[in-house]
Structure 1
Amino acid sequence: MKNLSTLLGIFAIIFVTACIEKNSSKETEEITAPKDSLVIDHTLTTENTHNKFSSSIAPVLKVESGAVIEAFTEEASDGQFNLNSTIGALDSLDFEPIHPLTGPVFVEDAKPGDVLKVTLHKIELGGWGWNAILPGFGFLADTIDTKYLKLYELGAEREEVQFNDDISIKLNPFPGVMGVAPDTSELLNTIPPRANGGNMDDPNMTEGTIMYFPVFVEGGLFSIGDGHAVQGLGEVCGTAIECPLRIVYEIELLKDKSIPEPQYETNDYYATTGFATTIDEAAKKATLYMVNYLKSEQGLSTEEAYALCSLQGDLQIAEVVDLPNMLVTMHMPKSVLN
């Protein structure tokens, strides 16, 4: 009987342990459930596009704070290329339709001085993409004057592409252009980054990233597009793998936050951005904005914030080819913040 009691006790311990492990596993699954399970409130297609930034462009959708939007975006040439294009297509490329953006979206009660929080919950690749070198365009345009076009088959399940026989590249889809309307009725082209966001071309602004945009006009008027399958920081030849995307994002209105230019965060860091006509000035702005963030949001003194930027802040060149402006960011690891 003693042995039987001992045996039953062991079985009981095993059973309880198994139940605990099962429940723990279930909790983990629930916590890490994909954000694409969010209920989509609105869908915008590639019929809902424009390619300028202006307060005069009428919204295609009005939403309340917290809306989840599914947006389909066109590739940057707006249909001037396809999988059968040859290098000759570069000669007839028209820059006027460049950057078709899906939107604008008007957020109820958004006023100048507020902030729009945009969470990029899901980013899926379209079926194909292209990468090109255009004569006269790119960081080394005065040194490398050549033409190049490479086409890629993509798709929602694609994780990498073959660059050549020896090199494969892991994909990291993200929208190159995101932004709100500036406070002008002038139709501004989308090529350079600005205070409203725009063509930031930062590969850190990918799935899971939370974006913050200052509001300049009533409703904010948020737009998104210029899908990239993969791109390095700087986008030095002038193009990424340009592609269509399906993006599921959540847009929220913040009344208790104020910023001069876009900022963003991930699970690992908080980031500020600075645009300017030179790398030096853009880097100074990004650093100053981080100092101000550390003071206002983290309670540091000016001296502490400036010193911490030197010890833990990482300046990154996001964009150098979209003249007249360039974009620099500063990343601050959340591991050093409370």
Structure 2
Amino acid sequence: MPEVVFPLDSTRSFTDQSLVGHNRWHPDIPAQVHVRPGDSFRVHAREWFDGAIRNDDSADDIRDAPLNSVHVLSGPIAVEGARPGDLLIVDILDVGPIPQEDSGPLAGQGWGYTGIFATQNGGGFLTEQFPDAYKVVWDFSGQVATSRHVPHVSFPGLVHPGLMGTAPSADLLSRWNAREGALIATDPDRVPPLALPPQPDSAILGTLSGSEFDRVAAEAARTAPPRENGGNQDIKNLSKGTRVFYPVFVDGANLSLGDLHFSQGDGEITFCGAIEMGGFIDLHVDLIRGGMDTYGVAENAIFMPGTTDPRFEQWLAFSGTSVTLDGEQRYLDSHLSYQRACLHAIDYLTTFGWTPEQAYMILGAAPIEGRLSGVVDIPNSCATVYLPTSIFDVDIRPSAAGPVRIDPGQGVPRSSF
């Protein structure tokens, strides 16, 4: 096992550890760990809410989830000799739930969860159709996830970090805040908001304290969206065996990570849409000097996916176009067309007896595939969502006999404001 360079004790909170990570992006958050090019090492990661979500049959914790506190990230990890303009090579050697802890109160100790966020607390991809808070708890058995809240479904997880990235430079941070602030200003009272501005409340900034903490907290960017540094990309294929090339914007690169997922469908459509957990990740790092200019990788991370994906032989796919539910035509709106594809899949699964919320959770947590299938034929874009048929214990393919009716069980716990 590689050396653990960022340990976490499951009996203590994230801010009561020997090394304290962070939950904001800023170039002046000091590195907690230093490694060298060519090193392999292990990092522990806490579930993104640091234990606020419980293994029970209530969704009140999702309703009250403290969004100002996310994401709790392990790092920064400085790579010796990394300079702005380099590319940081990060190999994911292994990733999984909390080792040797298969029961306990923390997500990652043999279980994880998926949530639909209430509109007033961030919403989700389909927040207009699902405005309230719901929660599903999943149990892990080896690589397989099952849930008492979504019966007749089981699937192998594709474990991956939802969030990993390098620190921004001061200039890049300023550009983030300016462009996102301008977007917020177009509709400042929107629910959910158009973007998340810097928020000092609940900021965790590693070893910073006093006036320096206050300055950085007022400037630091929230970790919710993906940006030029990688960040919260929620790409399910960043799994074991993946190689990622991250732009370097500060000396040392200052790599950070967190938000581990046991499984996720493309898009993480319920917002808390993956199976969230804490766990570990083993990494190997190296550098390409001047790689940002050499390869034109200045505003994005690129990656080579791992080869550990679950293998499914049959899929049932649903398509959607850029027409709203009330019949309004939109021009090549791929976001809308993927929403419509997902809604079509949800409607279809309800004919078998799953509730709409159970079907929505399946799309968020299971390793479905989402694709942009047509983006050139005006005015309609076409998006598709692929469901692997083998994750269900009934045959979901259309037939002359009609859909088999399942018992939906206790259903998905709901909490409303």
Tell me if both proteins adopt one fold, taking TM over 0.5 as the criterion: yes
The match for 1:262 among 301, 306, 310 is 301
**Other-structure match for 2:246:** 213
Conserved? CA contact 2:160–2:236, under 8 Å: yes
Conserved? CA contact 2:158–2:237, under 8 Å: no
**Offset, 1:76:** 1.4
Q: CA RMSD in A?
A: 2.4
In structure 2, the CA distance between the partners of 1:316 and 1:223, relative to structure 1 (3 Å rule), is farther
The match for 1:249 among 245, 262, 283 is 283
Partners of 2:370 and 2:46 lie apart in 1 by: 31
Residue 60 of structure 2 aligns to a residue whose secondary structure is helix
In structure 2, the CA distance between the partners of 1:89 and 1:40, relative to structure 1 (3 Å rule), is same
In structure 2, the CA distance between the partners of 1:264 and 1:58, relative to structure 1 (3 Å rule), is same
**Other-structure match for 1:92:** 64
In structure 2, the CA distance between the partners of 1:266 and 1:87, relative to structure 1 (3 Å rule), is closer
Q: What is the TM-score of this pair, normalised by structure 1?
A: 0.65
**Other-structure match for 2:196:** none
Partners of 2:77 and 2:130 lie apart in 1 by: 40
Question: Identity over the aligned pairs, expressed in percent?
Answer: 28
Conserved? CA contact 1:181–1:222, under 8 Å: yes
**Offset, 1:219:** 0.6
The match for 2:41 among 69, 73, 91 is 69
**Other-structure match for 1:159:** 144
**Other-structure match for 1:82:** 54
The match for 1:204 among 237, 261, 270 is 237
Conserved? CA contact 1:161–1:171, under 8 Å: no
User: If each structure's helix is expressed as a fraction of its own residues, which one has the higher value?
Assistant: 1
Q: What is the TM-score of this pair, normalised by structure 2?
A: 0.53
In structure 2, the CA distance between the partners of 1:57 and 1:74, relative to structure 1 (3 Å rule), is same
Equivalent residue letter for 1:77: F
Matched, 1:55 2:89: no
Residue by residue over 1:228-250, the C-alpha shift from the partner in whole angstroms, topping out at 9 and shown as x without a partner, is: 11111111111211101211011
Residue 83 of structure 2 aligns to a residue whose secondary structure is coil
**Other-structure match for 2:184:** none
**Other-structure match for 1:131:** 114
**Offset, 1:279:** 7.7
In structure 2, the CA distance between the partners of 1:233 and 1:227, relative to structure 1 (3 Å rule), is same
Partners of 1:265 and 1:182 lie apart in 2 by: 23
**Offset, 1:280:** 7.0
Matched, 1:189 2:213: no
**Offset, 1:159:** 2.7
Following TM superposition, the consecutive aligned residue runs of length 4 or more in structure 1 with deviations greater than 6 angstroms are 278-281
Aligned residue pairs total 237
Equivalent residue letter for 2:135: L
Conserved? CA contact 2:114–2:136, under 8 Å: yes
**Offset, 1:267:** 6.2
Equivalent residue letter for 2:289: K
Partners of 2:287 and 2:86 lie apart in 1 by: 7
**Offset, 1:55:** 0.5
Partners of 1:40 and 1:115 lie apart in 2 by: 23
**Offset, 1:152:** 2.2
Equivalent residue letter for 1:195: E
Of residues 233-242 and 164-173 in structure 1, the stretch that sits farther from structure 2 once superposed is: 164-173
Conserved? CA contact 2:242–2:305, under 8 Å: yes
In structure 2, the CA distance between the partners of 1:85 and 1:103, relative to structure 1 (3 Å rule), is farther
Partners of 1:267 and 1:87 lie apart in 2 by: 34
Equivalent residue letter for 1:161: T
Conserved? CA contact 1:75–1:129, under 8 Å: no
**Other-structure match for 1:180:** 166
**Offset, 1:256:** 5.0
Q: Which structure has the larger Rg?
A: 1
The residue correspondences of 1:96-135 to structure 2 (distance < 5 A) are 96-125=68-97, 126-127=108-109, 128-135=111-118
Equivalent residue letter for 1:92: D
Partners of 2:237 and 2:270 lie apart in 1 by: 18
Equivalent residue letter for 2:127: A
Residue 62 of structure 2 aligns to a residue whose secondary structure is helix
**Offset, 1:85:** 6.5
Residue by residue over 1:126-146, the C-alpha shift from the partner in whole angstroms, topping out at 9 and shown as x without a partner, is: 322111111111111123212
**Offset, 1:315:** 9.6
**Offset, 1:316:** 5.0
Partners of 1:202 and 1:316 lie apart in 2 by: 13
The match for 1:146 among 132, 142, 146 is 132
The residue correspondences of 1:178-327 to structure 2 (distance < 5 A) are 178-184=164-170, 186-239=219-272, 240-258=274-292, 259-260=297-298, 261-266=300-305
Equivalent residue letter for 2:154: S
**Other-structure match for 1:8:** none
Residue 50 of structure 1 aligns to a residue whose secondary structure is coil
Partners of 1:151 and 1:225 lie apart in 2 by: 20
Residue 89 of structure 1 aligns to a residue whose secondary structure is helix
